[in-house]
Amino acid sequence: MTASPLQAIRLPLLEEKGVSFYIKRDDLLHPDISGNKWRKLKYNLEEAKERGFKRLLTFGGAYSNHLAATAAAGIKYGFDTLAIIRGEKRLPLNPTLSYLKLCGTEMKFVSRSAYRNKYEPQFLETLDIDQEEYYIIPEGGSNTLAIKGVAAVVEEIEEDLGSPPDYISIACGTGATMSGVISGLNGRSQALGVVVLKGSFMSDEIKKFLSLIQKDHLDNWSLSEDFHFGGYAKFKPPLIDFINEFKTTTGVQLDPIYTGKLAYALFELIKQDYFPKGSSLVMVHTGGLQGIAGFTQRYGPIIAQ
C-alpha cells in the first residue's frame, strides 16, 4: 500500500499562532480498512499467513472500526473472519454490523459481562469455537505487531517533511497506536496523545505497550485527558459544531469518536499557546469514518456529510 498524503492546513488561527499544521491522511489509505486499523493489521495478516492460518478471530463493540477493518482485510487477503461482539444482537443490524455481514464475517454476540472475560483460556470453548483454527487478534487489533505496523507512519511523515515535526499527535483508545508513534519517533520530537475515554489509565496502558517492545525508556510523550466529552463515544454540541466547521473550512471529514476529539483538542491547545510559535505539528487522521453512519442512526444527521 502506498503512503498516505500529508496535507498542510492553512487557517487564520494557525497563521496568528505561528503553528505549521499538517494532517497525515491515513483515512485515505483504504475506504474500509481505515487508517491506523490497517497499519495495526498489516503484520498480523503476514504472521497469520506465514503460520498457515485461514481464519481470523477478533473482538469488538457493535460499532467497532477494528471489526470493520478486519472484515474488509479478510476479503482482501483471503481469510475467513469471526467477530466476537460485545452485547446482545439487535435487529436490524447497525451499519457496521451490516457491513460485517456483507463481508461474510461470522458474528457471535456475547453479553457484556461474558465479554469482560474474553481473554480467559476457556472463553472460546464455551462458545464452541476451536481456537486452534484461528489466528487471534485482540480487541482494537492492539498487540506488538500492531505497534510495529504503526511505527512506519513516522517514517512516512519525516520523508514528506524532510525532518521530523516538533509534534505528532494521535487519538488514544487502547493506546497501541500512540505506542507505535512513540516507538517510531524513538526519542525524537514529542508525541502527544489525546485520550478519547474518561479515566486516567492511559498512561499505564502505553507504558505497558512500550515495555512489551523494550521501549519503556522513551519519555518524549504526553497525554491530554481533558477532551473526552464525557467518555468513549460520548459527545457534546461543541464537538459536533467543531467537526462540521472543520469540514467547511478545510474539507477534511472527522469522526465524532476519535479524530474529532483529537482535532478539537489540538485547536484548543493552539488557542492556549500550548505549542511555541514556529512549531510544526502533525495530526494523524486515523480514519474511523465508517462509524459516522452508525452515529447518524443513533443521533440523527447532526454530522454534515
Ligand X SMILES: *Cc1c(COP(=O)(O)O)cnc(C)c1O
Told to check if 288 binds ligand X by CB under 6 A, we report yes
Residues 22-41 that bind ligand X (CB under 6 A): 35-37
Of 202 and 281, the one with the shorter C-beta distance to ligand X is 202
> Among residues 65 and 253, whose Cβ is nearest to ligand X?
65
**260 interacts with ligand X by CB under 6 A:** no
Give me the 53-72 binding string for ligand X, x by CB under 6 A, dash otherwise: ------------x-------
- Extended beta strands in the chain, E state: 6-9, 20-24, 55-60, 80-86, 106-110, 134-136, 167-172, 190-195, 221-224, 280-284
Question: Which distant-in-sequence residues (6+ apart) come within 8 Å of 61 by Cβ?
Answer: 67, 85, 86, 87
- From the list 4-12, 126-134, 224-232, 252-260, the region that binds ligand X by CB under 6 A is 252-260
Using CB under 6 A, pick the residue from 143, 177, 189, 190 that binds ligand X: 177
With vertex at residue 249, the alpha carbon angle to CA 273 and CA 291, rounded to the nearest 5 degrees, is: 95
Choosing from 149, 164, 173, 260, the residue that interacts with ligand X (CB under 6 A) is 173
CB of 16 to ligand X, least distance (A): 28
286 lies in the binding site for ligand X (CB under 6 A): yes
Residue holding cell 503476514? 46
- How far apart (Å, rounded) are the C-alpha atoms in residues 31 and 16? 35
Which of 83, 82, 74, 84 minimizes the C-alpha distance to 49?
A: 74
Q: Is 169 in the site for ligand X (CB under 6 A)?
A: no
SS3 25: coil
Pairing relationship of beta strands 80-86 and 106-110 according to DSSP bridges: parallel
Binding status of residue 44 toward ligand X by CB under 6 A: no
Question: For residues 109-148, which are near ligand X according to CB under 6 A?
Answer: 140, 142
Phi/psi for 200 (5° steps) reads -125, 35
Residue count of the chain, please give it: 305
- Could you say whether residue 258 binds ligand X (CB under 6 A)? yes
Residues touching ligand X: how many (CB under 6 A)? 20
Residues of this chain that interact with ligand X (CB under 6 A) are 35-37, 65, 140, 142, 171-178, 255, 258-259, 286-288
